[in-house]
Structure 1
Amino acid sequence: MEMLGKGIVSEKNRLWLYLTIIAGSFAQVIMIFPSGLRSQRGIQFWGAQFHDGLWHIAIVKKFVNFSFENPVFAGEKLGNYHYFSDLLVALVHIITRIDVFVIYYKILPSVISLSTGFFVFLLSKKLFKSEVAAIWSMFFVFLGSNFAYLLPFFGLGYPIWETNFWVQQPMSIYSNMPYALSVPIVLSSIYFLTKYLSGPRNNYLILSALLLAIAPATKSFTFFIFPGLFVISLYRVYKNKKFDLLIYFSCTLLIAILLMLPSLRFSDNFIYEPGWFLKTMIEAPDRMNWQDWSLRYQFYKSNNDIFNLVRFYITAFVIFFVGNLGTRVLAFVGVYKIRKLPHPEIHFLLLFSSFLLAIFPMFYLSSGIAWNTIQFYYYFLLFLGIYAGYGTYILLNNTRTKLYKIGLAIIIILFSIPVDIQTFYFYYSRPTGSYVTYEELEAFNYLNINGDDSDRVLTFPIGASFIHLAAYTGKTVFLGDEITAVLTGHDYRKRLDEINSAIEEREGFLKYLRKNKIRWIYDVTSEKSEILKNGNIKTSFKKGNISIYEVVF
């Protein structure tokens, strides 16, 4: 850390750099670090880590065995998926032999947060020519949050403040590991592009291109950076007669598309649904829960009152926009000075991309899980967090006395972190309800010892999620999770109906198992015990309510 500080920051600001990057990294990592640890009840997981985290672990296990099969939808290739974060974990495991769970839940988050802080500082310092502004940018990127703590004063809101305005805040970044990893990748790419524009050196441009090319394979939503990149490339050709950025753009886009091809499925990924997030933010019980305005909306709509409908959506958008930004609205304090800053191309790239990222979710939903498009807003908050650092720097510089400056800085910090504090309290004020029990671990261990990596497992009850089985055994679950099946473009309902039909036929059930190469049946209910009474389906393991059967081929 000392060597890092000496290289990029002056001695007078070094302590603030250390404090900000350590505090910010700690605040993010502490939200994922306890997941995967042992407790009295079993292996504990917090928040989304039991489902989403173990989904990534299951994919990592497949990659380790050089398989691209969907771990919870046997026989189908993994599609519609940004795979690079899982591939990275698999590569680190293959090289180091460190446990996959340790890499995913401990090492990778620490590296991501530290590198995010590092590149936020470097990029902000380059753009704003101020170490103080860069440190404030780090603060907002790490700890900036929304204004949801104000809602209870108006009798509104959901007890969990973080997503009252829909958008998840930076402290919970590791509930979405692909997004988390994409942040330092995107920031470092833009930083090296900025370095190249400062004094053309091809190695910076090549490094930037390679990083940006892998960004969409890490998180597909980063494709939204390319339109702004295309515009500044054309402008550079027009103004300076230089084609370097246009070549950079073309090569980067081509490589990005090629890297996405292995998992790309050409389908309708987005649904045109303008204002959906605004309307649901107002009326949903787990968002603002503003029932008075929800009833007004219904009245305006039933009476075709266009004027008041427009007024409703404008009001909702202002609340959504300002509410999600929180103290990051300070980004607009310094907007009028951006023209005087160096690297206008990069400022245009960041602000134009921010505009696209903010507008797109206002009109489109995802065809899989409708609200997935809200993740575009994560990048908007990231970029505005960087500019909020500059806005805060301008605001403090215009404060007359040192005492007022310190007081204002404290107020900004205090108004920024209430939601972070509440999020932390919500996570750790009560035990998690998500565990992999020790009985399950014993059953999984049995499958690991007696099965092959290519084995397929049918699970009971049909329709329940068994991602944790795939994560701990590396086996492929025949029908393991509806959400991930839908997201990756598979027909979950069709396979579910096929299994139920085979069960009802009884005589055809064994034939169905053999046809689909299902070697194991993992049952935690015993509700299908009659159908499993077959000389070719043998009980192999039983512990508590868990039974494992082996299908004899």
Structure 2
Amino acid sequence: MLQQIVIQILLIPVFLAVGLIIFTSPGALILKKLKIESDDLLEKFLLSTVLGLVIFTLLAYFLTLIHLRDLIWAWVMVGLIFAWIEKVNIWKSAILKVSKWFWIVLIVGMIGQVAVNAPSGFKYPEGIYFWSSHGHDGIWHLSLMEEFHKGVVPLQNPEYAGYTLQNYHFFVDLLMSEITRLFPFSNLDVYFRFMPILFSLLLGLSAFCLVRRWTKKEGAGIWAMILTYFCGSFGYLLTIPRSHNLSGESIFWVSQTQSVLGNPPHASAFIILTTFLFVLYRYFETKPKNLLPVLILLGGSIIEFKVYGGLLVLGGLVIVLIVDLLRKRSLGLIPLTAGVFLVSLGIYLPNSQNSQDFVIWQPWWFIRTMVVASDRLNWMDMELRRQTYIYEHNLKRVIQLETEAFLIFLTGNLGMRILGFIAFWQMLRQRIFSHYFEVFFLSITTASFFIPVLFVQKGVAWNVIQFNQYFLLLFGFLAAIATFWLLTKLKSKALKIAFASIVIILAVPTQVGLLLQFYTNHPLSMVSNQELAALSFINKNLTSRDIVFTAPFDGYSAAGFTKPPIPIYAWYDTGYVPAFSGRRTFLSDSEQLTIMGYKIEDKLKQRELLFQSKDLKFIQKYLQENNINYIYLVWNQQFKVDLTPLGVSTIFENDHARVLKVDHKVLDSYIEIPKI
């Protein structure tokens, strides 16, 4: 274990050096060609890296589509050559002038964020362990990374063999997959450790650069980093008296920004959106035409990193365009808006299927479930009173309770970001519609809050709550501006220290609780060494076109294990087989498939019947119709009848797993002998 950690630490600078070559250097070259200059080193590094990352991903996507993906090496070589030729020259005109507090916040913030992800995906004595939701969400991304290595077009869903990938923002998975395809890094290391380090760095820098540029104050930028890295909900105010701990990060429903690295699409979209805002502010200052292609690429690509972020950008641009048309009768923003729309539609529509009605009108669903759910507030008394007042037609009391619940939802999730209402009000009161950047910013901030308040997502209702995570990020910037402004109003140094201390003390408990949760609790799930051996056998002995059939998920099987980590097959329905074998499964991870709009109900029922059936003719027909060649069974999973007469034989077996092969010649020739 210690050896693994040492190797990881040694590989971190290697990975970051690769990032400089394939992201920062080409991005800097493009900015140089566009004559986009900056005398600030941090701004130059941020924009070069994020722009390079976006173009690298777009290029990888289009080269895959035309079956020329190895040409991506030309991009790598350009980055390497430009970095070598320029060396220090490209940065010599830039100035790095920041206070020690910037470095303290950046380093501590990155350590705190990355520490939440880092333990998962390591090889422990009994297998590979996963904390929290990493065993599901992380596995899904790992399966996509493995699938994209194949370069198959159209892109396939590794968890649903024979079906193309649809209704999913896969760019960050393609990005990570290309890195592990081109360079000798493992999927697990890139996903759980290396990419989170880069993302955490860029998230902090983008928050700092945006708010500093916006306010012209470094202190406000540092507060933006503090609130992005450390600010959590007020959930601890409930969990301390209830269970005497600092948990409760998402007790009001919304996961906080400090845990965003567990969701790479979100993390990448946060970074690109914040960088887009940074460039947009510069654009609205003087409207230089050379910033337009950068804005179009950044704004247009967000939708395939995270569709929610892309929708916010598109909606915000439409609002600003309308305001400009009404105020100035100007068409000046049409090129930007049209460009972002065209890029967004160009990369989104080819992978979209019937996604136009992905939300359902369901006002207050999250607020109501927050109140009554046992794992959230669990205030049944409040809900019973509301229902009683509705029955009594006591509208005044109903409105009172609904307002209370709304305010609890809002303030509970915001935590100390609630200070942002000061800046929000100042912008509305002083210069609404006078600065288009603030029109855009306030529009997407407001939309990101109210969409989940009024709608749920089709398929999996709670998925739409992720819009609120953008609200927390953006409102954190407003809170940073307000906090810095309040500090400037305090004349006494002692009062400044006291106020800043209060803000930090009230902001950080859920971040502390999150770290304690990860490092004091056991991992939830694992893939055992024996299963890893079986999955490795599948990887080495099956072709990339072969499909693996797995048993249905049994929600009761976890009861057979006394303490975590439990085998991942018993913990949750996941796509761990394609993630670790590189081979597609017939059907796995039904929740993710439902989110993406696949109609799988009949197949789920038929598979259940297959494993319950003792009718060899039914099983024969099922295996034939679905062209099943290989079956993967774990631990005590088995059919109700011996399948040897159907040509099903074991080709690999250990204590935890079996791989079965179906001989279709025997299967097709099977004739049931009538009983006499």
Shorter-chain TM-score tier: over 0.9
Per-residue CA deviation, residues 517-551 of structure 1 (Å, 9 max, x unaligned), is: 32210112243162432352111011013111011
- In 1: Cα distance, 2:196 partner to 2:342 partner: 29
- In 1: Cα distance, 2:504 partner to 2:177 partner: 39
Per-residue CA deviation, residues 104-155 of structure 1 (Å, 9 max, x unaligned), is: 1112111111111111111111111111011101111111111122225776
TM-score by length of 1: 0.94
Q: CA deviation at 1:294?
A: 2.3
Q: Are the equivalent residues in 1 in contact too, given 2:116–2:514 (CA < 8 A)?
A: no
1:63 and 2:148 matched: yes
Q: Are the equivalent residues in 1 in contact too, given 2:240–2:246 (CA < 8 A)?
A: no
Q: 1:552 to 1:324 in 2, by over 3 A?
A: same
Q: Are the equivalent residues in 2 in contact too, given 1:521–1:548 (CA < 8 A)?
A: yes
Q: 1:401 to 1:341 in 2, by over 3 A?
A: farther
Per-residue CA deviation, residues 3-56 of structure 1 (Å, 9 max, x unaligned), is: 649988874x42111111112222111111111111122111111111110101
Per-residue CA deviation, residues 250-307 of structure 1 (Å, 9 max, x unaligned), is: 1211210121113212143112111111111111111112232122123223334332
One-letter amino acid of the structure 1 residue matched with residue 653 of structure 2: K
Q: CA deviation at 1:237?
A: 4.3
1:397 and 2:397 matched: no
Q: 1:271 to 1:9 in 2, by over 3 A?
A: farther
- In 2: Cα distance, 1:147 partner to 1:523 partner: 45
Which residue of structure 2 aligns with residue 84 of structure 1? 171
Q: CA deviation at 1:103?
A: 1.4
1:294 and 2:376 matched: no
Secondary structure in structure 1 of the residue aligned to 2:535: helix
1:471 and 2:579 matched: yes
Q: Are the equivalent residues in 1 in contact too, given 2:246–2:509 (CA < 8 A)?
A: no
One-letter amino acid of the structure 2 residue matched with residue 33 of structure 1: A
Equivalent residues in 2 for 1:245-394, closer than 5 Å:
245-267=333-355, 268-338=357-427, 339=430, 344-394=435-485
Q: CA deviation at 1:242?
A: 4.6
Secondary structure in structure 2 of the residue aligned to 1:161: coil
Kindly report the root-mean-square deviation, in angstroms, between the aligned alpha carbons of the 2 structures: 2.4
Q: Are the equivalent residues in 2 in contact too, given 1:457–1:477 (CA < 8 A)?
A: yes
Equivalent residues in 2 for 1:97-116, closer than 5 Å:
97-116=184-203
Alignment counterpart, residue 177 of structure 1, candidates 247, 264, 275: 264
Unaligned runs of 5+ residues in structure 2 are 1-15, 17-39, 44-90, 555-568, 665-676
Equivalent residues in 2 for 1:490-509, closer than 5 Å:
490-502=598-610, 504=613, 505-509=615-619
Alignment counterpart, residue 32 of structure 1, candidates 117, 126, 142: 117
- In 2: Cα distance, 1:8 partner to 1:386 partner: 25
- In 2: Cα distance, 1:453 partner to 1:466 partner: 20
Q: 1:72 to 1:518 in 2, by over 3 A?
A: same
One-letter amino acid of the structure 2 residue matched with residue 60 of structure 1: M
Moved more, 365-374 or 452-461: 452-461
One-letter amino acid of the structure 2 residue matched with residue 532 of structure 1: L
One-letter amino acid of the structure 2 residue matched with residue 370 of structure 1: A
- In 1: Cα distance, 2:136 partner to 2:224 partner: 32
- In 2: Cα distance, 1:476 partner to 1:35 partner: 23
Moved more, 241-250 or 98-107: 241-250
- In 1: Cα distance, 2:293 partner to 2:500 partner: 39
Which residue of structure 1 aligns with residue 304 of structure 2? 217
Q: 1:415 to 1:83 in 2, by over 3 A?
A: same
- In 2: Cα distance, 1:507 partner to 1:58 partner: 34
- In 2: Cα distance, 1:118 partner to 1:110 partner: 12
- In 2: Cα distance, 1:134 partner to 1:42 partner: 43
Q: Are the equivalent residues in 2 in contact too, given 1:456–1:518 (CA < 8 A)?
A: yes
- In 2: Cα distance, 1:466 partner to 1:198 partner: 48
- In 1: Cα distance, 2:217 partner to 2:297 partner: 28
Q: CA deviation at 1:158?
A: 9.7
Q: Are the equivalent residues in 2 in contact too, given 1:194–1:343 (CA < 8 A)?
A: no
TM-score by length of 2: 0.77
One-letter amino acid of the structure 2 residue matched with residue 290 of structure 1: W
Per-residue CA deviation, residues 330-351 of structure 1 (Å, 9 max, x unaligned), is: 1122345434699821111111
Query: Greater relative contact order: 1 or 2 (C-alpha under 8 angstroms, separation 6 or more)?
Result: 1
Q: 1:449 to 1:456 in 2, by over 3 A?
A: same
Moved more, 87-96 or 160-169: 87-96
Per-residue CA deviation, residues 55-83 of structure 1 (Å, 9 max, x unaligned), is: 01101111111232211122211212111
Q: CA deviation at 1:509?
A: 2.0
Q: CA deviation at 1:241?
A: 5.6
Which residue of structure 2 aligns with residue 416 of structure 1? 507
One-letter amino acid of the structure 1 residue matched with residue 468 of structure 2: Y
- In 1: Cα distance, 2:203 partner to 2:499 partner: 26
Q: CA deviation at 1:206?
A: 0.8
Secondary structure in structure 2 of the residue aligned to 1:194: helix
One-letter amino acid of the structure 2 residue matched with residue 392 of structure 1: T
Per-residue CA deviation, residues 445-476 of structure 1 (Å, 9 max, x unaligned), is: 11011111121111124566241111001111
- In 2: Cα distance, 1:240 partner to 1:302 partner: 52
Q: 1:152 to 1:446 in 2, by over 3 A?
A: closer
Alignment counterpart, residue 537 of structure 1, candidates 624, 639, 648: 648
One-letter amino acid of the structure 1 residue matched with residue 420 of structure 2: A
Which residue of structure 2 aligns with residue 485 of structure 1? 593
- In 1: Cα distance, 2:212 partner to 2:41 partner: 18
Q: Are the equivalent residues in 2 in contact too, given 1:462–1:496 (CA < 8 A)?
A: no
Q: Are the equivalent residues in 2 in contact too, given 1:81–1:488 (CA < 8 A)?
A: yes
Q: CA deviation at 1:231?
A: 2.1
Which residue of structure 2 aligns with residue 17 of structure 1? 102
Moved more, 48-57 or 327-336: 327-336
- In 1: Cα distance, 2:658 partner to 2:619 partner: 18
